[in-house]
Structure formats: structure tokens, C-alpha cells
Amino acid sequence: MTNSYVSSKGVSRKGGTFARRNLILAAPLLPLLAYLGFFFFWPMFAVVVDSLKNNDHQWSLINFTTIAQKPYSTAFKNSILLGALSALFASIPGAIFAYVIEVRGSEKLKSLVTSLSGVLANTGGVPLAFMFIATFGAQGSAIKILKALGIDLYSGGFTLFSFSGIVFVYLYFQIPLMVIIFSPALHSVRNEWRDAAKNLGATPKKFWTTIGIPLLFPSFAASFLLLFASGFAAYATARAMTVGNIALVPLVIGTLVDGNVQVDQANVGKSLAVGMVLISALAMIPYLIIQRRARRWQQ
């Protein structure tokens, strides 16, 4: 690639003007990039740097070796499991629900579902946790109804504040999230493909196995990854619902930040954060790549 280009005037210009022209075009974007640099990249950079320092402010991997052991490793295991399970139990019902709405629903129903899912998917944290306490807590309405029907969940040692309880509560925002992110993929399965497949001799089952599912699988996998990251990193709900009995990485970081707990290493919280970022990135980056590629045929 030569440095010069022929301008619209037909005169060849040297590389300098070309670069300068691009710089002028990029200049108004600098505020946004600078903003991101200061408010986003710098904090993350600082965390990474500090995570690699020990109590004497020297470079060291001690924080990372610490978090590789208990109790931190347990927290990671729990969080990863929580992300995976909530993603698993949300992705399939969510996909089915999105499919039924997409294929059978009227336009009005579809927009209602979209706005409702939007509200519920962002219903994190506090309101959600309290809602479930109101429903399934010891004094909850659903428990009372079930008692009236003769079923006493609490007699068997059931508690909402267990691991399975949290997974269950997470479904409440994970399923709507699945509906939101998976619906566009379903929407883009064109009627022409179904008609053409039928015309060429495919039963509905054959259509789905040869065309539909292969087409949708990447988006499904991507959605699963997003749900995993969402369940893994969620803080508010876990905070409002647990009573310190379950170790989850976001919660551990939270207690360290509060400064109430003394730890051997001052920067353990930072390395925990770095660990979180790595795991989250491991899920989110494939998600973004798949989504970009899928958009090609979804046009």
C-alpha cells in the first residue's frame, strides 16, 4: 500500500495529508475516548497493577496464589456454578417462550412481552430479592397458600437462602434476559426458508433439524454465555438474599471493600476483581464475536 493517494481532484498527495485528514475526522471523538480512558480503562488498569503488588508494594503474585486457595477458590466455584446453572435453567425455557411468542403471538403481544421482559431483566437486586422473600419466605404468600393446600415446604428444611434458592431467584431476571437477547435471532428466521423447505419436501421436524437449529445454535450459545456472565457477576440480588452463608465472589469482594474484614493481603480484593474480569471476559468475548457474525445473515 503506497503512502500517497489520488484525491478527487486527480492530484496525487503525499501520506502526510492523508494521515492528517484522518486525524481531523477523529478529533471530535477524542472527548468520548478520553472519557472512557479516564473513567474506565484507568480504574481497571489500576486494579490490575495493584493486584500484582504485595503488602510491601512490590511486584508479587501472592494475591493470585491466595485466591487460588480456600476460601476464595470456593467462592469462585460457587459463582461459576451459579452462573452456569442459572444460565442452563433459564436459556431453555426462555428460548421456548420466545419461540412461541414469536411464531404465534400478535404484534401487540410481542411488544408487551418486549417491554415486560425489559423491566424484569433489569429487576435486579433489591426489589427482586424482597419480592421473593414476600412470596417464598417463611411468611410468604405462596407458602401460606401451599400450607392451606397441605404442603409445608419449610418442614423439610427448605430455605430461600440456600444455593438452590438463589439459582431459583436468578431465573426471574435470567429468563426475561434470554427472551430479550434471543428473540431477534428467532425473528430473523425467515418465512421464505420454511416455505422453501416445505416446498422441497421437508416436514417441520426436518426443517428444524437441517436448517432451523443449525442457524439458531450460535445465537443460542451466545445467549447462554451472556446469561452465564450475568449470573456470575450479579451482586445486588445475592447481597440482599444471602446472610453470609454462601460464598460468592461478588459478595466476598463486597465484604473486603467494606473494610470490616482483615485479610493477610491488602490487595486480595483487587486480584479477586481481576479474576472476575477474566472469567467474565472468557464468556463475553465469544458472545460478542458470535453475535457479530450472526448479524450477517440476520440482515
End-to-end Cα, the chain, rounded Å: 32
Point out which residues pair with 12 in neighbouring strands. 6
CB of 243 to other proteins, least distance (A): 12
How far is it, in rounded angstroms, from Cα 285 to Cα 226?
10
Q: Does 140 bind other proteins (CB under 8 A)?
A: yes
CB of 78 to other proteins, least distance (A): 15
Evaluate whether 187 touches 299 at the Cβ level (below 8 Å). no
Query: Is the peptide bond between 286 and the residue preceding it cis, with omega within 30 degrees of 0?
Result: no
8-state DSSP, 10: S
How far is it, in rounded angstroms, from Cα 280 to Cα 229?
5
- Considering only residues 214 through 233, tell me which ones interact with other proteins, judged by CB under 8 A: 214-215, 229, 232-233
How far is it, in rounded angstroms, from Cα 98 to Cα 110?
9
The cell numbers describing 237, all together, are 440480588
Phi and psi torsions of 53, nearest 5°: -120, 140
Number of H helices, E strands in the chain: 15, 2
How far is it, in rounded angstroms, from Cα 22 to Cα 14?
13
How far is it, in rounded angstroms, from Cα 170 to Cα 235?
11
Q: Does 15 bind other proteins (CB under 8 A)?
A: no
CB of 33 to other proteins, least distance (A): 7
Q: Does 83 bind other proteins (CB under 8 A)?
A: no
The cell numbers describing 82, all together, are 451459579
- From the CB of residue 54, how many other CB atoms can be counted at a distance below 10 Å? 15
Sign of CA dihedral 283, 285, 286, 287: positive
Nearer to other proteins, 85 or 253 (CB): 253
Q: Does 289 bind other proteins (CB under 8 A)?
A: no
- Considering only residues 250 through 279, tell me which ones interact with other proteins, judged by CB under 8 A: 250, 253-254, 257, 269-270, 273-274, 276-277
Nearer to other proteins, 20 or 198 (CB): 198
Q: Does 50 bind other proteins (CB under 8 A)?
A: yes
Q: Does 124 bind other proteins (CB under 8 A)?
A: yes
Out of 46, 68, 151, 261, name the contact with other proteins by CB under 8 A.
46
Q: Does 151 bind other proteins (CB under 8 A)?
A: no
Q: Which of 152, 186, 167 is closest to 242 using CA atoms?
A: 167
Out of 3, 17, 20, 43, name the contact with other proteins by CB under 8 A.
43
Instruction: Candidates 3-11, 59-67, 133-141, 156-164: pick the segment binding other proteins (CB under 8 A).
Output: 133-141
Nearer to other proteins, 195 or 264 (CB): 195
- Considering only residues 158 through 217, tell me which ones interact with other proteins, judged by CB under 8 A: 172, 175, 190, 192-204, 206, 210-211, 214-215
Out of 19, 61, 68, 116, name the contact with other proteins by CB under 8 A.
116
CB of 285 to other proteins, least distance (A): 7
Out of 1, 11, 32, 243, name the contact with other proteins by CB under 8 A.
32
CB of 16 to other proteins, least distance (A): 18
